[in-house]
Amino acid sequence: MLKPLGDRIIIEKTEKEQTTASGIVLTDSAKEQSNEGKVVAVGPGKRLEDGTRLSVDVAVGDQVVYQQYAGTEVKRDKETYIILSEDDILAVIEQ
C-alpha cells in the first residue's frame, strides 16, 4: 500500500458508467474523466514552523470531489490511485 507524506491524500478513482441520452454506453476513451474518488490513505498533515502538524480535513473512507487535473496518477497492483495535496480536494460527498 502507498503511505502518503505531509498533507498528501491518496484517492481511489470512482468509475461511473456513462451513457448518452439515447442509452449508448461510452467507451473509456470517449468518457469524460470523473473527478470523484474514495480516500484510501491520508498523510499526517502539513508540518508547521514550530514542528507541530496541521491535521488533514478528510478521513479514510470519505467520498470526495477533487480538481479536474489535480494530482499524480499511480498504478499499483492493478488499481489506479491519484495522489493529491489536501488543497486539491474540493468537497466531501455526504451520504
The pTM of this model reads: 0.75
Q: Is the pLDDT of residue 17 over 60?
A: no
2 inside domain:
no
Mean pLDDT of 57-81: 90
Mean pLDDT of the chain: 83
Q: At 88, is the pLDDT very low, low, confident or very high (cuts 50, 70, 90)?
A: very high
Task: Round to whole Å and give the CA distance between 88 and 84.
Answer: 6
Residue 23 lies in a domain: no
CB atoms within 10 A of CB 1: 8
How many domains would you assign to the chain?
A: 1
Is 60 exceeded by the pLDDT of residue 45? yes
| Residue 44: all three cell numbers together | 499526517
Query: Residue 70 is part of a domain; what is its CATH number?
Result: 2.30.33.40
User: In which residue are the cell numbers 484510501 written?
Assistant: 40
Give dist(CA 60, CA 81) in Å, integer.
14
CA 68 vs CA 11, 34, 49, 88: distances in Å: 13, 8, 31, 9
pLDDT value of position 95: 76
